[in-house]
Structure 1
Amino acid sequence: MGPLDIVNHLLNFAAPAAALALLLTLFRRLIGAKAAASLPWWRHAAAVFGVGIATLLVGVVVWGRDGKMLTYAALVVACATCQWVLVRGWKA
C-alpha cells in the first residue's frame, strides 16, 4: 500500500467523527443551552472530534476491524455525551 492509499484510508476512518463533530458544532445553539457560546467553535469541534476518534479507535481494537455498526452507534452516543457536557446540558 502506497502513501496515498494510507492517507486515503486514514481520512475515510476519521470522516464519520469529523462529520459528526462539525454537525454538532454547527447546531449547538439549537440543541444546547446559552452556555454553548462560552467555548469557541473550533475548540468545541476539536473536543467532539477527539472523543469521536478515540471511540473509533476503541472499536477497531475491540473488534479488530473498522466499520462495525456497533462502533458507529458508540460514536454517536459518545459524541452526544461530549456535546451534552460541553453545553452544560444538566443546567438546562
Structure 2
Amino acid sequence: MSPLDAFWHLANLFAPAWGLAALLALAIKGLWRRETRSLAWRRLWTWGGAGGSLALVAALALLGRDGKMAGYALLLAGVALPQWWLLSFRR
C-alpha cells in the first residue's frame, strides 16, 4: 500500500464521524438558534468529530473490524455525547 492509499484509507475510515458531526452541528444550530447563540458550530463539529473518531477506533479495537452495526451505534453515541455535553454545560 502506498502512502497515498494509506491516507485515503484512513480518511475514509474517519469520514462518517466527521460528516455526521457536521450534520448534527448544523442541525443543532438550526433548530436551537437562541439556545446555541454562544456556541460556534465549528466547536460543536470539532468535539463531535473527535468523539466520533474515538468511538470508531474503540469499535475497531473491540469488534475487530469496521462496518458492524454495533460500531455504528458507538459512532452515533460518540458524536452525540460531546455535543450534548457542550449544550448542557456551556458557560
Instruction: Give the TM-score of the pair, scaled to structure 2.
Output: 0.84
Identity within the alignment, %: 38
Structure 2 gap segments, 5+ residues each: none
Which stretch of the first structure deviates more once superposed, 49-58 or 26-35?
A: 26-35
Q: Does 1:44 align with 2:73?
A: no
Any residues of structure 2 matched to 1:41-80 within 5 Å, and which?
A: 41-80=41-80
Which stretch of the first structure deviates more once superposed, 3-12 or 78-87?
A: 78-87
Which stretch of the first structure deviates more once superposed, 63-72 or 2-11?
A: 63-72
**One-letter code of the match for 1:60?**
L
CA 1:14–1:55 in 2, change beyond 3 Å: closer, same or farther?
same
**One-letter code of the match for 2:49?**
F
Any residues of structure 2 matched to 1:1-92 within 5 Å, and which?
A: 1-32=1-32, 34-88=34-88
C-alpha distance after superposition, 1:46-83 (max 9, x if no partner):
00000000000001111122222111111112322222
C-alpha distance after superposition, 1:7-38 (max 9, x if no partner):
11111101110111110111113454733221
Which stretch of the first structure deviates more once superposed, 73-82 or 9-18?
A: 73-82
Which stretch of the first structure deviates more once superposed, 32-41 or 56-65?
A: 32-41
Which structure features the higher share of helix residues? 1
Does structure 1 conserve the Cα–Cα contact (< 8 Å) formed by 2:29 and 2:41?
Answer: no
Distance in 2 (CA, whole Å) between partners of 1:33 and 1:41 is: 11
Give the number of the structure with larger relative contact order, counting CA–CA contacts within 8 Å between residues 6 or more apart. 1
Distance in 1 (CA, whole Å) between partners of 2:33 and 2:58 is: 30
Instruction: Give the TM-score of the pair, scaled to structure 1.
Output: 0.83
Question: RMSD between aligned alpha carbons?
Answer: 1.8
**One-letter code of the match for 1:43?**
R
